[in-house]
Amino acid sequence: MINLAVFLLKNSTKQWLTNKKGSKFIIIAPLLILALFTLLQMNVLSKPEEATAQLVGWVVLVILFVFILFGLLSNRLPSRMEDVMWIYMLPMSMSRIVWTCLCWQLLLRSSFWLGSALIADTIRFLLGHTYEHLFFQAFMSLAVISLLEVGLFAASSSRGKWGVSIAVGMVGAIGLVLTAFSFFVTQMEKSLFPSITAAMELLAFYVGAFMMGKFHLEGFLFVVVFIVLAIVVIQAAAKGLELKEKLTREADFWSSFSSFSSLAAAAKGGDQASYWGGKAWTGVFSFVWFEWVLWRKHRSALVFQFIAGAGLAIVMAIKWPSWLMIYFGIILASALIGGFFSGLIRHAQSGDLLLLPGSRLKKIVLLEIVDLIPPFATVWLYYSISIAIGANLSLKPIAFIGWLLVLIVAIACFRISLFVDVFLKNLDISMGSYYKRLFIYSIAIAGIIFILLFLDSTLIELSIGMLVAAVMATVILYGVIRIYTYK
């Protein structure tokens, strides 16, 4: 067990020191997390009001049940092929492996949490504020942090056994529904199922108070009982070989994906029957089929995200319709910001984008279109649902469709230009260089939009201006694309 813990420590240290891809992000991300925790300690957890404890409790309960559902769709254990060959060959029970990985994650979370509390106490002391004992309160709230992490690991570990995962999923879904329902009922000051809402409101208060370092027996019992149940789930899920088999299958899938030889062999293997009914690999469209394979693999997570987002859209359409456009804008902005994690970058990193036969330009355009279809289709469906329930939105359906078409072309051109500028010109695809260029491009596009708004441009003129700017950026770099295109 100690050997595995030392291995995890050395592996994290190695990634910290030697990972060139996104090395700047590796340094900045922990600092951002520490700063966020520090602001949370100073501005929220230092307030003694009961309303603050109530709000913190609602947030903790929502995060807990979302973590449980997310754990069923994700893997929190080592799942690379080298991990399977080394870790899971150890003469150690699966439960001990899970507990070692969990303790390592808890150690990281706890160090950030306690460090942020110490920094917050220091800043408040230097600013002359009253001493709120945030560092000592953080020790009590570590129990809640442990609750969240143990719940996440328990849900992730239960994926090996169908019955256990169904039970965990039911707990997460029912808990999330009850929490969301009780929160909105109390906010709207209505009397619906008063016994349930009152119980959930009290539970949220006790958990929030416990998170803020105030001891309540009810909150303490909830945390302890939930952690004990999570321990039972981990022990039950770790028995037998199902969990190891699940992790081995996932490792084999991703190993096959990252291996160029296996992908090339599949591409040359002729026509084969596939479970979606088409040909398995056919030229340039093999990249599209492979993206569909990934969608099919993660269909449960995608369906859950869509349903959760639709629920939020319905609530906003009923209560805050003016915020819907901002919500849609955030979804579309994520399509732009998440470009580094798209299928295009993934295929470029594995080498098959440049090495497999076919027009590079066709492959690039196809991958970008396939990657942008889900967010834009999601926004259109959310818009349709909002209109169906009677939301009064500023853009009518025809104008909204026009804006979506303009944005999908603009974002696709923008991402293709960014990919060419970062990768094809100098074969550098690090996260730092990608987002540095993204920031520069965003400033340029924002400048163009600001000029058009300053000139009192109409909505149509603004759309045309955005479209022209995005297309021109792609046309300017088209010569670079053509150099790397053989057909």
pLDDT category of residue 166 using cuts at 50, 70 and 90 = confident
- Give the residue among 307, 295, 377, 365 at the shortest CA–CA distance from 335: 377
Per-residue pLDDT averaged across 35-46, rounded?
77
Residues 235 and 347 in one domain: no
pLDDT category of residue 26 using cuts at 50, 70 and 90 = low
Per-residue pLDDT averaged across 303-322, rounded?
80
Res. 139: pLDDT tops 60: yes
Residues 290 and 242 in one domain: no
Res. 223: pLDDT tops 80: yes
With a CB cutoff of 8 Å and minimum separation 6, the contacts of 422 are 428, 429, 433, 434, 437
Per-residue pLDDT averaged across 22-48, rounded?
69
The per-residue pLDDT for 18 is 54
265 part of a folded domain: no
What secondary structure does DSSP assign to 347-382, as a single string? HHHHSHHHHSSS-HHHHHHHHHHHHHHHHHHHHHHH
Residues 312 and 357 in one domain: yes
Joined tokens for residue 213: 């370092």
Query: Checking phi first, is residue 278 left (phi over 0); if not, alpha (psi -120 to 50) or beta?
Result: beta
How many domains is the chain built from?
2
Place of tokens 């296996």: 262
Residues 293 and 384 in one domain: yes
Structure confidence by residue, pLDDT tens digits, 100-125? 878 888 888 888 888 888 888 888 88
Helix, coil or strand: residue 279? strand
With a CB cutoff of 8 Å and minimum separation 6, the contacts of 460 are none
pLDDT category of residue 269 using cuts at 50, 70 and 90 = very low
Instruction: Please state, in angstroms and rounded to a whole number, the distance separating the CA atoms of residues 384 and 290.
Output: 30
108 part of a folded domain: yes
Place of tokens 């599209």: 288
Centroid of chain to Cα 145: 19
168-177, 284-293, 340-349, 407-416, range with greatest mean pLDDT: 168-177
The per-residue pLDDT for 397 is 73
Structure confidence by residue, pLDDT tens digits, 371-416? 888 888 888 888 888 877 777 776 777 777 777 777 778 888 778 8
The per-residue pLDDT for 255 is 63
Q: Which of residues 446 and 5 earns the better pLDDT score?
A: 446
- Give the residue among 149, 138, 113 at the shortest CA–CA distance from 227: 149
pLDDT category of residue 87 using cuts at 50, 70 and 90 = low
Residues 49 and 192 in one domain: yes
Residues 176 and 284 in one domain: no
- How much is the mean pLDDT over the chain? 74
Residues 204 and 352 in one domain: no
Instruction: Please state, in angstroms and rounded to a whole number, the distance separating the CA atoms of residues 347 and 338.
Output: 15
Residues 225 and 290 in one domain: no
Domain that holds residue 366: 274-483
Least confident stretch, 53-62, 97-106, 154-163, 450-459: 450-459
The per-residue pLDDT for 475 is 62
Residues 333 and 470 in one domain: yes
- Give the residue among 177, 181, 200 at the shortest CA–CA distance from 54: 200
Per-residue pLDDT averaged across 203-227, rounded?
86
342 part of a folded domain: yes
Residues 229 and 361 in one domain: no
Res. 209: pLDDT tops 70: yes
pLDDT category of residue 484 using cuts at 50, 70 and 90 = very low
Joined tokens for residue 417: 């230009």
With a CB cutoff of 8 Å and minimum separation 6, the contacts of 266 are 280, 281
| 79 touches 251 (CB < 8 A) | yes
Res. 20: pLDDT tops 60: no
Q: For 422, which DSSP code? A: I
Query: Checking phi first, is residue 395 left (phi over 0); if not, alpha (psi -120 to 50) or beta?
Result: beta
Place of tokens 């094809």: 424
